[in-house]
Structure 1
Amino acid sequence: MDDSAAKTNLHRYLQHEREAVLAKLEGVSEYDVRRPLTTTGTNLLGLVKHLATWEARYLGEVFGRPFPEPLSRWDVEEERLADMWATADESRDEVVDRYRRVWAHGDATIEALELSSTGRVAWWGDAEVPLFNVLVHVLAETSRHAGHADILREEIDGAVGTDAEAMADAGHDAAFWAVRRAQIEEAARLAD
């Protein structure tokens, strides 16, 4: 596979994962999109805000193409953790729109550079890293957080799938999942 095809393929997978994350917000109340669903406070809108912040860093400032809007500091603990949740004053639309602006900025970086073009990642010990590695890292992180969003959304209302259409037509009702969960619980108890 040549570099152009590889870059196109990675970019396509990244876009799919970006869309999958946003699909998890569809049809969810303001409370549910923001409420902490894990011990550490992980929530759907916070995942989007976090992805926007770090994609802006990786596909922006790493390559000398800083995102034109302010970002929380990565090297100040209070600010670094602030990207994991939305304040009451930050609307869902603002967070989502910012993520989409970050996509456009990141997409411009991907399109402008060769996979072998290098940038400096300050939070990796100022390592010089090629776009290929950064793109794989951003894809991996976005996929990881899309998986988190899958689980959070399932906890909120049982919706499953990678996009809004799949969530609406999952093919199984609540009774099916109750039986399946009971089967899995029984297997766990028997194995213990």
Structure 2
Amino acid sequence: MAKTPVPSLRFEREAWNAGAHWVAGVDEVGCGPIAGPVAAGVVVLPAGRRFRWYSQVRDSKVLPERSRDELSMKIRDSVPFAIGWASVEEIDRIGILPARRLCMLRAFEQLAVRPDAVISDALDLPLPNVRAVIDGDALSVAVAAASIVAKVERDALMHQLCERYPGYNLCRNKGYPTPEHKRLLQERGPSPIHRTSYAPVAQYTFRW
């Protein structure tokens, strides 16, 4: 079995050595779910500073929930960050790829600092000095940190939506198409936060 990659500061260090001070990592979460919005996190690392959590971050998908929650707090308490969203309606209207870029750009709009360089998880963005890195959330500390804060924020929202739209167990599946979620979707029909452009949802008639 292949080892899980450990994110490093390789890409950040290259940007710092080229003269950047603030280096941002950006990643989005929630592309695969059939319900709920897509969210992006941006985390900005300064030159000349090191934090202990740098060695602890991983792609958010491979971390236990408790570890994500603890790391998200450490990240948010120590460096600039921001969250951006694209709604279910926007996903259905423009498609998931444009929605991914949209929520990333909205995250940058919320930042308190202007990054000198950006490391993106695979996506090109219409911003200065962007480096798109495939599997960036597994390779870059800044991108992995961004994936963590975004994942924690989106999961918290899905817990709220679970209370607003009961019957789909969104608290547990977070909108992903688990066998249970698809069974409940078949029984109840889609809710207003299900993505009608996604095949598992499109096949059912609205009952709301």
TM-score when scaled to structure 2?
Answer: 0.32
The structure with more strand, counted as a fraction of residues: 2
Which of the two has higher C-alpha Rg?
1
TM-score when scaled to structure 1?
Answer: 0.33
